[in-house]
Amino acid sequence: MKFLKDPPRFLFFTGKGGVGKTSVACASAIELATRGRRVLLVSTDPASNIGQVFGLTIGNTVTPIDAIAGLNALEIDPEQAADAYRERIIAPVRGLLPERELAGIAEGLSGSCTTEVASFDEFTNLLTDDSLLATYDHIVFDTAPTGHTIRLLQLPGSWTEFLDAGKGDPSCLGPLSGLEKHKKVYAAAVAALADPARTRLVLVARAQASALSEIDRTHGELAQIGIRGGYVVINGVLPKAAGTEPMALAVRRRERAALNGLPASLATLPLDTLELKARNMVGVDALRSLFRAGGNGAAESQAVAEVPDAPLGQFVDELEQAGHGLILCMGKGGVGKTTIAAALAVSLAQRGHAVHLTTTDPAAHLVDTLHGTVPGLRVSRIDPQEAIREYRNHVMTTKGTTLDAAGRAALAEDLLSPCTDEVAVFRQFSRAVHESRHEFVVVDTAPTGHTLLLLDATGSYHREIARQMGENMSFVTPLMRLQDPELTKVLLVTLAETTPVLEAEELQHDLQRAGIQPWGWIVNNSIAAARPETPFLQSRAANEVTQIDRVSDHADRVAIVPLLADEPIGVDRLTALTAPSRG
């Protein structure tokens, strides 16, 4: 493996959910320990569970992996870190402010920005602690800090003074309150990250366009703040052992096309390819096989437990009964939201309804997916970049006019955050919510539960309207429409894999906190539902059954879409996705 040749002290593995970061990080730690090195394996990924991989309880204490001499592990729980972080900020003002204001502050500190900074606060010690550095030859991190996290830690001026002066009320400065005393420690940690002699960045992806785009974005973000270079690992490439049935041949075609379109910035980096294995990467023996080509062994045909017969068409039958409404397809990148949204919109239009299909996803290509027109179907795109530019200009020309130069610089930096992006897109998204009173509006990607709560709890649109209208006036805001199950149907799209299901569970929890109950779940690209013929794919299908059962435990309704031999592009193939039951 190129990425494990002459490794420095710190190795960071990053990439989108579900690509196998944890497996690659764990296998790398085992390999380094086998070479006689002293290794600490650290997870900062909320969707990661290295304890489960090794069959041990690890948690937030350094734990020896007895099966591997020289290997220890540690799991940093991002939510616990964020809880402790929020408490440090809120504790000094508890008893001084009304409970309602404290609740608003807590909600403002509930998003990804706080979690990222809190996690970075935790593992900063691992980068700078002299005793740890004397104990271990290598520290392997499952998940690296994002470029956004590091930019937050490099904000100009004094965070504490900026906030105490009442200037720091936008989305992401809250998490930095009171951290002035840590700036020197953070600067040392960032310097370690930017030094290739001490740190190596490993970008993990699958041979899929969305996963490759994600590591390309991460690579560019980190390069902007001085962390350059890196290694690329393409994980889970379908091996020859998968056979030559139509589904396997189709997957190989898709993988080749994705790798042929590798972004230019990644094409210059050292690259390793790892084969997909028939079994899950759980246990030391399985992890040792990850870096071995052809390490799948001889697979035998096996009966795969029947998954529920749950066609997507049943969802359409129920959705159309109201005659109009808002349908939100939500989920992490790479699960197929765009395809599902397009299939639902096409089916509703073919049944004679007026349908507006729109996306807030900058990576979505609705026109390419449709590859044609349908009477009654209108397609549009909410341009996130345009929305963000408009919102930033608005904030800088209002709040920014009262600040000094340092304050304006800090405000401009904060407006680069993902939280700000979500709020900006929501402003345009609200127009689509309004249209759904008269027609079907199908949205590919929607604001997260945290965005909705942030808007509500900080006195934004919903609260402002409530204040202006008074208790005796009736009004309906976009948030209220999203909370009304008669007006809005939220569909969570996922894959029958551990990480995507866990991420969808977290999204459901977020939405429920905002008073929004998901209407149904869609398990997309299921190998088990496709009824594979070869032993290798049957083994993969068997792994899905547990995750499908887990989805069924959470969902009021479930639809399962099989992995198809041909990509569902074009009206005819999208129509086939909502065809009646397979019988």
- Looking at 149, 199, 339, 499, which residue is catalytic? 499
Q: Taking residues 222-232, report their average pLDDT.
A: 84
Average pLDDT of the residues of the chain: 80
pLDDT digits (tens, 9 = 90+) for 438-478: 999 998 876 655 455 544 544 345 555 555 555 555 556 66
Whole-number Cα distances in Å, 432 to 93, 328, 429, 447? 40, 11, 5, 12
For the chain, which residues make up each domain, given as ranges?
Answer: 2-205, 312-388+419-577
Beta sheet of 377-381, edge-to-edge order: 377-381, 355-359, 440-444, 325-330, 488-495, 520-526, 558-562
At 19 the three-state DSSP class reads coil
Between vectors from CA 495 to CA 491 and to CA 499, what angle results, nearest 5°?
A: 110
Residue 65: half-sphere exposure toward Cβ, Cα within 13 Å: 28
Helices 78-90 and 112-128 pack at an angle, to 10 degrees, of: 100
- Looking at 17, 18, 168, 520, which residue is catalytic? 18
At 375 the three-state DSSP class reads coil
At 561 the three-state DSSP class reads strand
- Looking at 15, 17, 20, 168, which residue is catalytic? 20
Q: Taking residues 214-240, report their average pLDDT.
A: 87
pLDDT grade for 2, boundaries at 50, 70 and 90: very high
Q: Which of 59, 81, 83, 84 is nearest to 72 (CA)?
A: 59
DSSP 12: E
Contact (CB, 8 A) for 191 and 199: no
pLDDT value, residue 420: 66
pLDDT digits (tens, 9 = 90+) for 142-191: 875 555 455 544 543 334 344 444 444 444 445 455 455 566 777 777 78
Cα separation, 170 vs 405, in Å, equals 17
Cα separation, 93 vs 123, in Å, equals 27
Token duo for residue 437: 């009173």
Verify whether residue 445 is a known catalytic residue.
no
Token duo for residue 20: 């196998």
Length of the chain as a residue count: 583
**Distant-in-sequence, close-in-space partners of 378: CB < 8 Å, separation ≥ 6:** 354, 355, 356, 357
Verify whether residue 22 is a known catalytic residue.
yes
- What do you get for the CA distance between the two ends of the chain, in Å? 47
Architecture of the domain defined by 2-205:
3-Layer(aba) Sandwich (3.40)
Q: Taking residues 123-127, report their average pLDDT.
A: 77
- pLDDT for 306 beyond 60: yes
Q: Taking residues 221-249, report their average pLDDT.
A: 86
- Looking at 16, 17, 23, 498, which residue is catalytic? 23
- pLDDT for 130 beyond 60: yes
- pLDDT for 37 beyond 50: yes
pLDDT value, residue 314: 94
pLDDT digits (tens, 9 = 90+) for 518-549: 999 999 999 999 888 888 888 888 889 989 99
pLDDT value, residue 33: 96
Rg of the Cα trace of the chain? 24
Higher pLDDT, 110 or 143: 143
Options 3.40.50.300, 3.40.190.10, 3.40.930.10, 3.30.700.30; which CATH number does 312-388+419-577 get? 3.40.50.300
One-letter amino acid at 373 equals T
Phi-psi region of 222 (alpha: psi -120 to 50; beta: other; left: phi over 0): alpha
- Looking at 16, 17, 45, 236, which residue is catalytic? 45
pLDDT value, residue 448: 59
Tell how far CA 428 is from the center of its chain.
Answer: 22
φ and ψ at 97, to 5 degrees?
Answer: -115, 155
Q: Taking residues 56-61, report their average pLDDT.
A: 82
- Looking at 21, 167, 277, 337, which residue is catalytic? 21
Residue listed under structure tokens 């959910």: 17
Q: Which of 271, 127, 269 is nearest to 198 (CA)?
A: 127
Q: Taking residues 569-577, report their average pLDDT.
A: 89
Verify whether residue 421 is a known catalytic residue.
no
Q: Taking residues 477-496, report their average pLDDT.
A: 87
Q: Which of 556, 573, 566 is nearest to 347 (CA)?
A: 573
pTM of the model: 0.74
Token duo for residue 363: 């990576």
At 237 the three-state DSSP class reads strand
pLDDT value, residue 94: 83
Verify whether residue 20 is a known catalytic residue.
yes
Verify whether residue 45 is a known catalytic residue.
yes
Higher pLDDT, 255 or 176: 255
pLDDT value, residue 180: 53
**Distant-in-sequence, close-in-space partners of 287: CB < 8 Å, separation ≥ 6:** 23, 26, 27, 30, 53, 281
Phi-psi region of 508 (alpha: psi -120 to 50; beta: other; left: phi over 0): alpha
Cα separation, 148 vs 413, in Å, equals 10
Cα separation, 270 vs 229, in Å, equals 9
One-letter amino acid at 412 equals A
Q: Which helix (H) or strand (E) holds 289?
A: helix 284-289
Whole-number Cα distances in Å, 147 to 118, 387, 418, 500, 517? 15, 22, 11, 23, 33
- Looking at 22, 110, 360, 420, which residue is catalytic? 22
Q: Taking residues 30-34, report their average pLDDT.
A: 96
Higher pLDDT, 323 or 44: 323
One-letter amino acid at 279 equals R
Verify whether residue 18 is a known catalytic residue.
yes
Higher pLDDT, 54 or 560: 560
pLDDT grade for 417, boundaries at 50, 70 and 90: low
Q: Taking residues 44-58, report their average pLDDT.
A: 76
pLDDT value, residue 419: 58
Verify whether residue 110 is a known catalytic residue.
no
Contact (CB, 8 A) for 284 and 54: yes
Q: Taking residues 543-568, report their average pLDDT.
A: 90
- pLDDT for 233 beyond 80: yes
Tell how far CA 290 is from the center of its chain.
Answer: 24
Same fold, 2-205 and 312-388+419-577: yes
